[in-house]
């Protein structure tokens, strides 16, 4: 087949069937009468994207503030709908336990989100933490907040499941088909792929860390970063299974880590956040943690958990797209034909069914009630200009910290 041949003509094409793209495909296929095509450079659920690495945290009580509560609650309802539609268990309802010294800013902002959103929760003092969760090192003065609507998501399974659900409802996905470029015309969008041309009325671009390659206009707003994950072997795995051990975030001695219970029968995810800022090429760099980085992760993990073996048994690094203030972009280009979902900044997976719906609604009607004004290109351009001019804007808000 010649790369210049028209291979499909559709109403909406979704470029990048990862976390957000798969969910946008599901919503488009289930709630609109439009013809829908996904175009993905790899296979259905692969190891190269931001969703890879077994699991992600779902928090309803976001330490980044109540700005995200509506999206989190909408997403939780949609996770349940996707589970019901497909018969797959995607959300592990373990709760998310945040432990930190009393007064820690993350605990305070989590508590504010809980109060403002009236979210179900539990506070635990140091004695209760030691009694109920002996897996953690607990210092005098530590307190815990259990986000009872929180839990863990099986991320590769979720992406593959959303794709299957979309396909069952009539969407088509072209796998192993890199998109090489997108050109907007008056009558539509011309998408050049390795296999030929796709004509669409609208295109949703959800290409994660690869976004600036496909939409160079957002180069000033979005960058590619990488986030590592690590797993450790507990001495007693039965202490770390989802029936006894929740998803968690821990701040101790100035270090932050997060994790998910043991899902593979031998190891538990304990990931000290050592985000790698700005990577050049999401296809190649970086793919492995250095010996020094592994040693540092081990030191943090063994300090937080007395009952684990002092060595990383599994690790991986995943590319992600980020904005300067970690607020995502979910918006339509000036022409109205290109819809962009990018810059989820280590924090987007939990919201993906809600953000996928926003993207689908933007493609269908040009607006979405869940599109917060901070998520617009206009907002991000104003912030970029203010940064360039060294100005502090009046509408300042907390920076997202990830997961
Ligand atoms: C290690 C790590 C831990 C995280 N932890 C959490 C957490 O606990 N909780 C949470 O809510 N969030 C978390 N996040 C964030 C969350 O996983 C991401 O925000 C989310 O997965 C981003 O989704 P995306 O659709 O933008 O990108 P991706 O899921 O990476 O999807 C992009 C897709 O586009 C495809 N693509 C790219 N270029 C092209 C092209 N030219 N042609 C065709 N296809 C293309 C890619 O192959 C990929 O499939 C974490 C992220 C990382 C990296």
- DSSP code string of 143-203: EEEEETT-EEE-HHHHHHHHHHHHHHTT-EEE-S--EEEEEEETTEEEEEETTEEEEEEEE
pLDDT above 90 coverage of the chain, percent: 86
Protein residue closest via CA to atom 14 of ligand 1: 346
Alpha-carbon distance of 72 to 65, in angstroms, equals 11
Residue 401: the pLDDT is: 54
Question: Alpha-carbon distance 187 to 51, whole Å?
Answer: 34
CA–centroid distance, 234 to ligand 1, in Å, is 29
Q: What is the pLDDT of residue 278?
A: 80
Query: Does 259 reside within a domain?
Result: no
Q: How many separate domains does the chain show?
A: 1
Q: What is the pLDDT of residue 318?
A: 95
Is 236 domain-assigned?
no
Q: Ligand 1: distance of its center to the CA of 126 in Å?
A: 36
Residue whose C-alpha is closest to residue 22's, from 401, 341, 315: 341
Mean pLDDT throughout 392-396?
A: 56
- In this structure, of 49-58, 65-74, 253-262, the range with the lowest mean pLDDT score is 65-74
338 closest CA partner among 221, 222, 220, 214? 214
pLDDT at 2 over 70: no
Give the binding-site residues of ligand 1, using a 6 Å CB cut-off.
Answer: 15-21, 39-42, 48-51, 53, 56-57, 178-179, 206-208, 210, 214, 227, 229, 318, 320-321, 344, 346-350, 403
pLDDT digit string, tens, across residues 191-229:
999 999 999 999 999 999 999 999 999 999 999 999 999
Number of CB atoms found within 10 A of residue 242's CB = 16
pLDDT at residue 82, rounded to an integer: 98
Question: What is the mean predicted confidence (pLDDT) over 16-21?
Answer: 98
Q: Please write down the long-range contacts of 362-369, taking CB distance under 8 Å and 24 or more positions apart.
A: 362/204, 362/330, 362/331, 362/332, 363/12, 363/24, 363/28, 363/34, 363/202, 363/204, 363/339, 364/28, 364/32, 364/34, 366/332, 366/336, 368/330
For residues 171-177, average pLDDT: 98
Nearest CA to ligand 1 atom 48: 18
Q: In this predicted model, what pLDDT tens digit does every residue of 266-319 receive, in sequence order?
A: 999 999 977 777 888 898 877 889 999 999 999 999 999 999 999 999 999 999
User: Which residues touch 391 (CB under 8 Å, ≥6 apart)?
Assistant: none
Would 382 be classed as within a structural domain?
A: yes
Sign of the CA dihedral with 354 first, then 359, 365, and 367 last:
positive
Is 38 a member of any domain? yes
User: Lowest-confidence range among 186-195, 286-295, 350-359?
Assistant: 286-295
So what's the pLDDT on residue 210? 97
User: Range with the lowest mean pLDDT among 42-56, 101-115, 331-345, 388-402?
Assistant: 388-402
Count of Cβ atoms closer than 10 Å to residue 353 Cβ = 28
**Looking at residue 13, which CATH number applies to its domain?**
3.50.50.60
Protein residue with its CA nearest to atom 24 in ligand 1: 208
Cα dihedral sign, 16-17-23-24: positive
Closest atom, ligand 1, to C-alpha of 51 = 21
Pocket test for ligand 1, best of 3, 16, 27, 273 (most atoms within 8 A of CB): 16
Q: Round the average pLDDT of the chain to a whole number and report it.
A: 93
Domain residues for 376? 6-51+156-223+324-388
CA 348 to ligand 1: nearest atom: 19
Mean pLDDT in residue range 177-199? 97
Ligand 1 mutation target, pool 45, 90, 318, 349, most atoms within 8 A of CB: 349
Q: Per-residue pLDDT tens for 319-331? A: 999 999 899 999 9
> Helices (H) and strands (E) in the chain — how many of each?
9, 19
Task: Please give the structure tokens belonging to residue 316.
Answer: 């991986």
Spatial CA neighbour of 326 closest among 222, 206, 226: 222
The predicted pLDDT at position 141 comes to: 96
> Does any domain span residue 102?
no
- What's residue 4's pLDDT? 85
- Residue 400 pLDDT > 70, yes or no? no
Specify the residue with its C-alpha closest to ligand 1, atom 45. 16
Spatial distance between the Cα atoms of 99 and 107, rounded to a whole number of angstroms: 8
Residue 403's pLDDT is 64
Q: Which of 6, 16, 10 is nearest to 214 (CA)?
A: 16
For residues 347-360, give the mean pLDDT: 97
């Amino acid at each position: 087949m010649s790369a210049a041949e028209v291979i499909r003509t559709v109403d909406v094409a979704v470029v990048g069937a990862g976390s957000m793209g798969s969910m946008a495909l599901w919503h488009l296929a289930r709630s609109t009468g439009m013809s829908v095509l996904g175009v993905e450079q790899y296979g259905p659920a692969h190891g190269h994207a931001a969703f890879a690495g077994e699991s992600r945290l779902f928090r309803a009580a976001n330490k980044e503030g109540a700005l995200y509560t509506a999206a989190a609650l909408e997403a939780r309802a949609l996770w349940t709908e996707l589970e019901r539609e497909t018969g797959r268990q995607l959300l592990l309802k373990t709760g998310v336990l945040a432990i930190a010294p009393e007064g820690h800013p993350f605990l305070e902002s989590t508590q504010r989100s809980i109060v403002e959103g009236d979210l179900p929760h539990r506070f635990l003092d140091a004695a209760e933490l030691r009694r109920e969760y002996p897996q953690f090192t607990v210092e005098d003065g530590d307190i815990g907040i259990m986000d009872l609507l929180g839990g863990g998501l099986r991320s590769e399974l979720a992406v593959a499941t959303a794709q299957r659900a979309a396909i069952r409802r009539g969407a088509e996905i072209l796998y192993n088909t890199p998109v090489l470029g997108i050109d907007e015309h008056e009558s539509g969008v011309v998408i050049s792929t390795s296999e030929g041309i796709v004509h669409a009325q609208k295109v949703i671009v959800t290409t994660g860390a690869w976004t600036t390659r496909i939409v160079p206009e957002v180069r000033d707003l979005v960058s590619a970063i990488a986030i590592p994950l690590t797993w450790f072997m507990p001495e007693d795995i039965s202490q770390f299974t989802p029936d006894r051990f929740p998803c968690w975030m821990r701040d101790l001695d100035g270090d932050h880590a997060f994790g998910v219970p043991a899902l593979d029968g031998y190891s538990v995810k304990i990931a000290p956040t050592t985000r790698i800022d700005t990577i050049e090429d999401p296809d190649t760099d970086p793919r492995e943690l250095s010996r020094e980085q592994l040693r540092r992760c081990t030191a943090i993990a063994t300090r937080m958990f007395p009952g684990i073996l002092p060595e990383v048994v599994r690790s991986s690094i995943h590319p992600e797209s980020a904005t300067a203030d970690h607020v995502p972009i979910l918006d339509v280009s000036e022409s109205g034909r290109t819809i962009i979902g990018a810059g989820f900044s280590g924090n987007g997976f939990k919201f993906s069914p809600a953000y996928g719906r926003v993207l689908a609604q933007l493609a269908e009607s040009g607006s979405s009630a869940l599109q917060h004004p901070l998520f617009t290109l206009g907002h991000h351009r104003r912030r970029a200009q203010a940064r360039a001019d060294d100005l502090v804007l009046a509408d300042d808000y907390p920076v997202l910290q990830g997961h």
